[in-house]
Structure 1
Amino acid sequence: MEYPDDGSDLSVAGAGPPPPAGPSPSRFPTPSLRRTNQIALPSSAPPPTRADIPPAPPREQVYTSAEPIEPTSRRGGGRLWQVLVGGAAVLVLLALCGLGAAALLVDRGPQPETTPTYQPNAAASDPAEERQDLDSRDTDQAPLTAKELFPGKELKVTDGQPGYQVVKTHSSGSCAVAATDEVADLLVRLGCNQVVRATLRAPGGNHLVTTGLFNLTDKVSAERARDRIRQLLDERQGRFQGMVGKEGDGTEVVATAPARVGWQVRGHYLAYALVVRTDGVAVKSGDTTIREILFDMLELHLSRGVLERRADGGTAGQPTAGPTESGGTQSGTTGDDELPGD
């Protein structure tokens, strides 16, 4: 191998005498070349010049791998972006899971009952929201009317059966007009503020009946009136008063003849009915026709008809207990009393 001249700034490692100790006289550092990469120059080739030898790269730029390593700042930024994207994906997944769980809870919730419960004389709605508490005037404030109790000239109680002919109706704020003596005083003391009544001719024309409702303060006062009335009738200290229709229509007997009477309580109302024969003959307690008339008026018409419709047409409340019935006889202005019936 040929080597550069003695005056050259370059020297080849491994040839000639060792370089003098101390700093190199050259201004550029001698590149460190691996022995395996040394090039054997032919003898005819001119010696290399300074321009032919590329400068050695800085030591901090030398890589040990085939691909360059990304700077630390770029690697950190990429990881931050991955974290953000991953967090957003987790949030979206959690939101979707929450919506799915809510939908499942709604689907599995209690289903409303679809089978309707039949309520007579009631609108097609929840019975608990439609019932009116009849136990007091505080919860049943609407006053009674004659049209509510007796809306027409004929009262049909049972389908397919003859009706009752309505002779006269009457409504009053004084309960004493429908009773006499101690019975009238009792009703007033217990807070009765209204009576609605009518006189009707029974099918067949052999009986007259005066029937109606007394409007008392509450259920307790109505029950007290019911229990006390029997004693007053037995002791002849008063009576229910029959109501006469028009003059000459043959209804005068309802106010004078011995009568069979019945009464019962529902809520704060006292229902009553007074039945006489049109010929004025004393009635018998075992007369089945009179029993049927009392049942038609008290139970079928006033309780199951008028008061049931009133209860169904109100607001939230509970249905009252079934009516409790009493009965007896009372004397007219002439004739003797009969023994009280059952």
Structure 2
Amino acid sequence: MAYGDESDEDTFEGHQRPGSALSPLGAALPARSPSPSRFPTPSLPRPARAALPAPAPPPPRVAPPAAPPRFSPPQARAHATTQPLNLPRSRRARGSGGSRGRSRGRLWQVLLGGAAVLVLLTLVGLGGAALLADRSSQPQAAPSPPAAAPSPSRTERQDIDTRDTDPAPLTAREVFPGKTLKIGDGDDERYPVLKTQSSVSCAVAATGKVADLLASLGCNQVVRATLRSPDEDHLLTAGLFNLTDLATAQRVRDRLRELLDQRQGRFRGMPAGDDTEALTDAPSRVGWQVRGHYLVYCLVVRADGEPIKAGDPKVRDVLLDVIELHLDKKVLERRATGGSADQPTSEPSPTRTG
């Protein structure tokens, strides 16, 4: 947008310029002298009049001056000029007061913090003293002796599933350690041991195809004993066959029933003097089971040579006591945990009687 400047400086209708129709061009205006005063002056001796200078021409017409810029009155200016002189003094006064206030606040903070720390330390000290007093008032228990280290034979188990991991041969003393086989504490749980035997020939404890089966599958040892029942009504021969491994022992176990049912062999009873002949020719009952690479067995006959009735509870108790509770749970369990009733010999003796 454009702006146009309009001025009234050249628009004067009440004045006539020289050379116009109202004023002849070039006429000179009469000189004006000062008019006499209306009020006469007193007669006074006149001094020598000096020539008055010619009147000065009137000043040229100029535009009125612009309004002067606003400014403070002298008092305000004087105050403004003197105010900076007072500023440093007032600032110093305020600064000194603030620093004093801050220093006093810090001093109070330090004092309060120190008092809090002292109170806390006092409480901790009192609590510790009370705890020590309580402990000192209680009777001191005697320190318990350190627990004995467990025996390796009780904690380290031995793999008896194969002869490679269980190479030590059995001994008669390990399987039948005393003259009496004690199943329990009562007198009705004691079996007198009449004779023991340890042999490298498994055929001495079997006949027929049963002996052939044991020999063909690597049986290299049998440990057996003849015992009498606690009521003396039964005689028994029981023991362990040492086979190569668990799988072989299981094959013998599974084959035995078929051979015994077909009367193609049997386990032999071991006579032990007078009144034990029934072990060689009387009808018998046999039980067997497998643990590891061992075959556990027991043969039971009536002492009077009579046949054993089916389901005789006394025979069942004898088989349980000898096979389960003694040969398995005691003898083989002790061997599986690394212990034995006796140190085995390097070579089993061919025959041992006692």
Return closer, same or farther for 1:157/1:129 CA change in 2, 3 Å cut-off: closer
In 1, Cα distance between equivalents of 2:293 and 2:194: 27
In 1, Cα distance between equivalents of 2:198 and 2:290: 19
The aligned residue for residue 138 of structure 2 is none
1:251 aligns with 2:280: no
RMSD, aligned CA = 1.8
In 2, Cα distance between equivalents of 1:161 and 1:294: 18
The aligned residue for residue 334 of structure 2 is 309
- Alignment partner of 1:209: what SS? strand
The aligned residue for residue 211 of structure 1 is 238
Question: Which amino acid counterpart does residue 187 of structure 1 have in structure 2?
Answer: L
- Alignment partner of 1:214: what SS? strand
1:124 aligns with 2:150: yes
Return closer, same or farther for 1:204/1:131 CA change in 2, 3 Å cut-off: same
The aligned residue for residue 302 of structure 2 is 277
The aligned residue for residue 166 of structure 2 is 140
The aligned residue for residue 12 of structure 2 is none
Return closer, same or farther for 1:214/1:243 CA change in 2, 3 Å cut-off: same
Structure number with larger C-alpha Rg: 2
Which residue among 172, 182, 188 is the counterpart of 1:156? 182
Question: Which amino acid counterpart does residue 189 of structure 1 have in structure 2?
Answer: S
The aligned residue for residue 198 of structure 1 is 225
Question: Which amino acid counterpart does residue 272 of structure 2 have in structure 1?
Answer: G
How much has 1:204 moved relative to structure 2?
1.1
The aligned residue for residue 292 of structure 1 is 317
Q: Give the 4+ runs in structure 1 shifted more than 4 A.
A: 125-129
How much has 1:124 moved relative to structure 2?
2.5
- Alignment partner of 1:151: what SS? coil
Q: How does 1:256-271 map to 2 (within 5 A)?
A: 256-271=281-296
Return closer, same or farther for 1:251/1:126 CA change in 2, 3 Å cut-off: closer
- Alignment partner of 2:252: what SS? helix
Question: Which amino acid counterpart does residue 212 of structure 1 have in structure 2?
Answer: G
| 1:210-248: CA deviation from partner (whole Å, max 9, x where unpaired) | 0000000000000000000000001110000000112xx
Which residue among 210, 224, 232 is the counterpart of 2:251? 224
- Alignment partner of 1:221: what SS? helix
Q: Are the counterparts in 2 of residues 197 and 213 from structure 1 also a CA contact under 8 Å?
A: yes
- Alignment partner of 2:244: what SS? coil
| Structure 1 portions without partners, runs of 5+ | 1-122, 315-342
How much has 1:161 moved relative to structure 2?
4.0
Q: Are the counterparts in 1 of residues 155 and 337 from structure 2 also a CA contact under 8 Å?
A: no
| 1:234-287: CA deviation from partner (whole Å, max 9, x where unpaired) | 1110000000112xx211111110000000000000000000000111112300
| Structure 2 portions without partners, runs of 5+ | 1-148, 340-354
Return closer, same or farther for 1:167/1:125 CA change in 2, 3 Å cut-off: closer
In 1, Cα distance between equivalents of 2:151 and 2:170: 25
How much has 1:160 moved relative to structure 2?
2.4
In 1, Cα distance between equivalents of 2:168 and 2:262: 35
Q: Are the counterparts in 1 of residues 153 and 338 from structure 2 also a CA contact under 8 Å?
A: no
1:183 aligns with 2:210: yes
Q: Give the paired residue count.
A: 191
In 2, Cα distance between equivalents of 1:215 and 1:142: 10
Percentage identity across aligned positions?
Answer: 65
Give 1 or 2: higher helix fraction: 2
